Chain A
Amino acid sequence: MSALAFARRLLSPRGWIAFGVLAFIGTVLIPTLNSAVSPESALGVSDRVITLLGKFVCYATAAIALDLIWGFAGMLSLGHGVFFALGGYAMGMYLMLGIRGQGVYRSNLPDFMVFLDWKELPWFWHGFDHFAFAMFAVMWVPGLLAYAFGYFAFRSRIRGVYFSIITQALTYALMLLFFRNDTGLGGNNGLTDFKQLYGYPLALASTKRALYVLSVVVLLLSFLLCRVIVTSKAGRVLRAVRDAESRVMFLGYDPRSYKLFAWTFSAVLCGIAGALYVPQVGIINPSELQPANSIEMAIWAAVGGRGTLFGAALGAFVVNGAKSWFTVALPELWLYVLGALFITVTLFMPDGIVGAVQRFVEKRARTAASARAPEGATP
């Protein structure tokens, strides 16, 4: 397949233009407005906003990962926070060891270990002072857990609401585990007080900006990678599994391996998003594993429009943007707004924002087409 044909497979020409515009805004325009324009001016983007946007971008990546398995393979995970948090913890461990000697106790051990009177690093912390090792762990730890979990779940043919429930149980179980001090990951407080990432101080505006840009690049790449998957034959098999799994089996496919692939890939993406999230917010603790967090991810995808990838990312921005605004302006109203949003979307926009827009455009195109070509055009 030629490069051009491949590009056309991924996105329509109009889609590429939109993609290019968004990529430009995300990676060039906003960082420039942050570095070159004073935050007081109308066009200025403050450091606080950059960090906030960076956080949203990580959420959007996670939402795309969730959409891949929910929208395309029909598996609603209510435990994707697990993979996000595991990626975050892997990054957190690297950042934690980067503090060495600059902590409150001036010890070579992370502060919480000194506090617990531990004398040496637990075995699984070894290696996390190497950047490459930690980045590898960001991917394989969530990936391995997802693979093992998926292997047994799909082998037992657990589907639908049962699958959602056990993923929810998974995140709850892991939350309880991570809350314990003995687990060796900072217990209740988690990992925080990070100083530097790969030698760059996290407090610097330029580091924040770089992290933001990196997050946007990861989001864009994740989107394209997921497009590669869903526009391949494997994507069509996944959609077929979603719609009629038994039929797929009778065609000679093994639906389990397709599900397992999408599920594991999605978990790895989520892990990477979590890893980029942690240095920007400066903390990772077990509250990320709360069942409610994972459910919120599903809400992002539903609001934006599942099965579209772009919609899931859009939903993450819309819902989190609204959340940031409401929790500042009208803090006591936010939960009602979230509830109302979910009800509105389920009742009036079952395919989310993107679905509603698509339907509107298609309807207009169809009326225009039928006006142009009367009967006989369609078989």
Chain B
Amino acid sequence: MTLSAPTNTLEDDEPSGDRMTVEPPTVPLKPSSPPPRSRRSRVVSEERLAALTQGRKAVLCVDDVSVSFDGFKALNSLTLILDAGELRCVIGPNGAGKTTLMDVITGKTRPDTGNVYLVGHGHDLIGQSESDIASLGICRKFQRPTVFQGHTVFENLELALAGKRTVWQALFQGLTKLDRETIDEVLQTIGLKDARERLAGELSHGQKQWLEIGMLLAQKPRVLLVDEPIAGMTHAETERTAELLVSLAGERTVVVVEHDMAFVRHIAKKVTVLHEGSVLAEGTLDEVQANARVVEVYLGAEHAKG
């Protein structure tokens, strides 16, 4: 840990933004690319947004984003449009940029070029703080479960509850009836009603994962980013998680990053395959699997094994 640099202890599986080098992009920018970003977040150009979404019911647009770490291009002119209410699986071999994509959307990593638009927000998300982006309704579930171990399940959800983030509110405002109802609803959804007063640290691995998903739900997110939700889960827990994720889509957009192809097949309607930092293919799992290049770089390995 360095003395003054922002540090992040949650996720260090991939290079984080702290070590990001700001070198000029090696790929020539397209003429339609936005001008270099100023320090302040910019207003979204309506034309650009319309051109990207093309009449789709989009909620989040990742527009031509590139990130490089010490010369390694983690994301390479990646463009990704997420529709309202869909359940999207993002797959790809190791190092394809899946986690970096999440980092960029949630504000943990600043890209070298490119923008991220939240439809209806009017501003570029790039350059906004992590907590600001979170309060706009873009919530992320990390690989490792990170619930507050020393708090009860109920308290974990209380902290996650949307709204009320300032010190004074937290000091003097209690929970309203509506708040309690919301928490009860979430407890019901994630199946932890009986564990309400237990310490989160005492929960099983799978229960912690669900609690964390519940915490994201309590934030009333528009977009839910879920990073490898079933890593380390038992079979029964995996089943339950699949049900949970499918039930969550519809009201909100859910993005799942996952390695396990059986799980992806189980839940996904639409799949995006990343490779070397850009989108290789997009479509239903069958369409994607029929794509020759995908078979070559990713599924080929799976097929060879199977």
Residues of A within 8 A of B (CB): 1, 156-160, 162, 228-229, 232-234, 236-237, 239-240, 243-244, 246-254, 257-258, 261, 379
Contact = CB atoms under 8 A, between A and B. Distances in A.
A113 to B, nearest CB: 41
Given A239-B151, A243-B150, A251 B159 contact: yes
B170 A247 contact: no
A158 B155 CA distance: 27
B271 to A, nearest CB: 26
B233 interface: no
A234 B174 CA distance: 10
Given A157-B7, A244-B146, A257-B166, A236 B131 contact: no
B172 A232 contact: yes
Nearest to A165: B3
A159 B2 CA distance: 10
Contacts of B3: 156, 158, 162
B194 A379 contact: yes
B4 A236 contact: no
Given A157-B6, A234-B167, A240-B148, 8 more contacts: A156-B3, A162-B1, A236-B151, A240-B159, A243-B148, A244-B148, A250-B139, A250-B140
B148 A247 contact: yes
B1 A234 contact: no
Nearest to B5: A157
Given A156-B4, A234-B171, A254-B165, A246 B9 contact: yes
B264 interface: no
B174 A160 contact: no
A353 B8 CA distance: 34
Contacts of B155: 236
A198 B262 CA distance: 80
Given A157-B4, A246-B9, A261 B159 contact: no
B10 interface: yes
A234 B170 contact: yes
A156 B10 CA distance: 19
B20 to A, nearest CB: 17
Given A157-B6, A157-B7, A257-B167, A252 B172 contact: no
5 contacts: A233-B171, A239-B148, A243-B151, A246-B8, A249-B134
